[in-house]
Structure 1
Amino acid sequence: MSRSSLLLGTTAWTLAALIAACSLTLGEYPISFTDAVSILGGGGTLIERDVVIGDRLPRALTGLGVGAAFALSGAILQRIAGNPLVSPDVIGINSGAALGALIVLTVLGGSGLMTVVGALAGALLTAALILAIAYKRGLNGFRLVLVGIGVAAMLGSGISLLLIRADIYRALVAAAWLTGSLANRTTLHVTVIGLTLAVVVPTLLILARQLRLLELGDDLAQTLSGRAGGGRTPLLLVAVVLAAMATAAAGPIGFVALVAPQITRRILAERQTGLAASAAVGALIVVSADLAARLLFSPTELPVGVLTAILGAPMLLYLLARANRIGHAG
């Protein structure tokens, strides 16, 4: 890890932690920082403990974990494909996870861990479908984007069908979840994303050499690794699991996986994105957007996915325009 990447990661994590700490004190029921510390230590009234420990703390921790997971997923996919447009929300992985979770919520009437299993199954099946269509003598980044957008549109139709056929209560719950929200998070959501990162981060450390080899090009990566496709499959599986678990924990929060690696890359002015720094930036984006969503239109609370979309959509248009200019220049 370069010194600049370490500095950016440390700064972003520090800011994210500070904003998460501030989120424990702000809202319709304001609590001073000293009181919040006392409550975390076991003090405070029953109502104060419910507000801080039961509501705001799981929300903040889930936001940190989900932001890091989405950013890592996007950074890995962009490295694998060699294309800044590739991210789990753009190519349909998030849509697959959302469809799987929605089947559990609206058809099977399940919740909790069943939703997690449904999201993971939907993401894995979607990734398999995208690869089966897009893979042709290698993995081309733009072909992956085009196929992914088509698959995402198809999955979007399936999601709309489920919402139309569901009863009104389940449809409202599912529609709110689909926007991407950290409201009403519990220790279950913290555990899901926490365990995911606890398993995946050490796995990424093992696969780090393979990721660096892919930066040298497909032929050289395959020669040095001795694996077909340069060993992309384990990395792709890691990226899909990260996106699926993040979606299961907070819904398909849009554009974090796309934006965080690109912001990191431009700040560092490096050809490739640092994974650790990207995770920190992703966590910072999500907790900042969630706090803003809670406060900007108080007492009305916006889903965090609304604000990340406001930030992410212009970035996507910029990347598309930039890719178009480079294509014409070539």
Structure 2
Amino acid sequence: MIGSVCRFAPILLLLALVYLALAVGTPSLSASQLWAGLSGQGPGWLFTLVTEFRLPRLCAALLVGIGLGAAGALLQSVTRNHLVSPDVLGISDGALLALALSLILNPAGVLGPWWGAVVGALLTALVTLLAAGGVGTRGYRVLVVGVGMASLLRAGFDMALTTLPMFHAAGLYAFSVGSLAGRGWPVVGVAGGLLAILLLACTTVSRSLALLCLHDDSIRGLGVDLRRLRLIVMSLAAALAGVAAAIGGPIGFVALAAPMLARHLSANGGTPLWASALLGAILVAAADLFGRIAAAPAELPAGVVTGLLGGPFLLWLLMRSNSYGVS
């Protein structure tokens, strides 16, 4: 009985967050008003508020969380290290730098071509792997190189930011802290379609993730091309993180925490891919909702909220490293 409740608790929590994200704000809506807004039976302003402002922002938060949660689960599985995440390896910073460069080359848009983030994330993952000479034992080699890459790419972004006009620099800086404000259906629709394709591709490797906890020789003994598997998993993780960064900027902590929470709730102690994606959606939706109501009428970006939680969470993780096998 308790196990069943724990299994469905994340889904119930997500449904509650969906309702609160649509109903809470200025103005707050009752359940009947929310239904009238979704069904188009209420006044025009209510329909616009719900379907053109709050609903696409909620969908953006869910997509970002799904992408980050799945990316974190893939990276932690392939590196066998629970401290690895897209932001730690510099993948998120690579996506952000690519957006800044695209804006410099094409200043017509405030954020440049959004797909530049995906390209930047993939290139960062490839360079990190090449520089590290592979994943290495328990992912420490790629982790160390990734930390250096993250620092270098962040410095590159800061340099690019100083070359932009004030208007573009202010918009890009607000995006760089991880904000979902103003996300509309055009970005959500296209990025959501790409994310669906990537998640479909993840189903082809989801069964192989369990093999990655074995010794390399054991995996090769099963006839698995380990190098090819790692490259595919890393590429999928980088693309997922890139799509998430293209929608909401580099929102930290989620890709690190969601797989850990999924492992805690899992019966077999593995890293469930889909549970990590679900918990990632919950974390980003909760962070965005908290940011909207905590300092109303002002807003705290979701990335700031997750950053405030990320430091204490990482300290807690390090203190319990023996339990989670990160040392």
Tell me how far 1:230 sits from its aligned partner.
6.2
Equivalent position of 2:56 in the other structure = 58
How does the TM-score come out when normalised to structure 2? 0.92
Choose the corresponding residue for 1:296, options 287, 294, 297.
294
Give matches, 1:167-206, under 5 Å: 167-206=165-204
Q: 1:9/1:313 Cα in 2 relative to 1: closer, same or farther (>3 Å)?
A: farther
Aligned to 2:156: 158
**1:246 and 2:244 are equivalent in the alignment:** yes
How far did 1:37 drift? Answer: 1.0
Q: Is the 8 A contact 1:106 1:170 kept in 2?
A: no
RMSD (CA atoms)? 2.6
Deviates more, 1:195-204 or 1:245-254: 195-204
Counterpart residue identity of residue 71, structure 2? S
Deviations 1:254-285 (Å, cap 9, x if unpaired)? 11000111122223364322111111111111
Q: Tell me by how many angstroms 1:202 deviates.
A: 2.3
- Written as runs of structure 1 = structure 2, the 5 A alignment for 1:71-220 is 71-111=69-109, 115-136=113-134, 138=136, 140-220=138-218
Residue type of the partner of 1:298?
A
Which stretch of structure 1 is more off in the superposition, 225-234 or 209-218?
225-234
Aligned residue identity for 1:162: A
Assess, with a 3 A threshold, how the Cα gap between structure 1 residues 11 and 192 changes in structure 2: closer, same or farther.
Answer: farther
**Counterpart residue type for residue 101 of structure 1:** L
Structure 2 CA distance for aligned equivalents of residues 155 and 5 of structure 1? 44
Q: Is the 8 A contact 1:106 1:171 kept in 2?
A: no
Contact 1:16 1:64 in 2 (8 A): no
Written as runs of structure 1 = structure 2, the 5 A alignment for 1:219-238 is: 219-229=217-227, 231-238=229-236
Instruction: Provide closer, same or farther for how the CA distance between residues 227 and 67 of structure 1 changes in structure 2, counting only shifts above 3 A.
Output: same
Count of residues in Structure 1 that have an aligned counterpart in Structure 2 = 327
Map of 2:19 onto structure 1: 21
- The structural deviation recorded for 1:185 is 0.7
CA distance in 2: counterparts of 1:137 and 1:309, whole angstroms: 27
Q: Partners of 2:42 and 2:64 in 1: how far apart? A: 29
Matched position secondary structure for 1:28: coil
**Residue in 2 aligned with 1:280?**
278
Q: Whole-Å Cα distance in 1 between the matches of residues 228 and 219 of structure 2? A: 5
Flag the 1:108–1:10 CA change in 2: closer, same or farther, 3 A.
Answer: farther
- CA change 1:137–1:181 in 2 (3 A) is closer
Structure 2: gaps spanning 5 or more residues: none
**Contact kept? 2:68, 2:280, Cα under 8 Å:** yes
The residue identity in structure 2 corresponding to 1:29 is P
Q: How many angstroms does 1:235 deviate by?
A: 1.2
Unaligned runs of 5+ in 1: none
Aligned letter for 2:64?
A: V
1:94-149 deviations in Å (ceiling 9; x for gaps): 00011111222344225499532210111111111100111258465111111101
Deviations 1:66-102 (A, max 9, x none): 1111011001100100001110011100000111112
CA contact (8 A) 1:59 1:184 kept: yes
The share of aligned pairs that are identical, in percent, is 37
Partner of 1:116: helix, strand, or coil?
coil
Contact 1:264 1:273 in 2 (8 A): yes
Deviation at 1:190, TM superposition (A): 1.9
Q: 1:327 to 1:252 in 2, by over 3 A?
A: closer
C-alpha contact 2:23 2:34 (8 A) present in aligned 1: yes
CA displacement, residues 197-237 of structure 1 (integer Å, 9 cap, x when unaligned): 32122222221232122122222222324314261111111
Paired letter, 2:168: R
Letter in 1 for 2:262: T
The alpha-carbon distance between structure 1 residues 267 and 140, as it changes in their structure 2 partners (threshold 3 A), is closer
Measured in 1, the distance between the counterparts of 2:32 and 2:54 equals 16
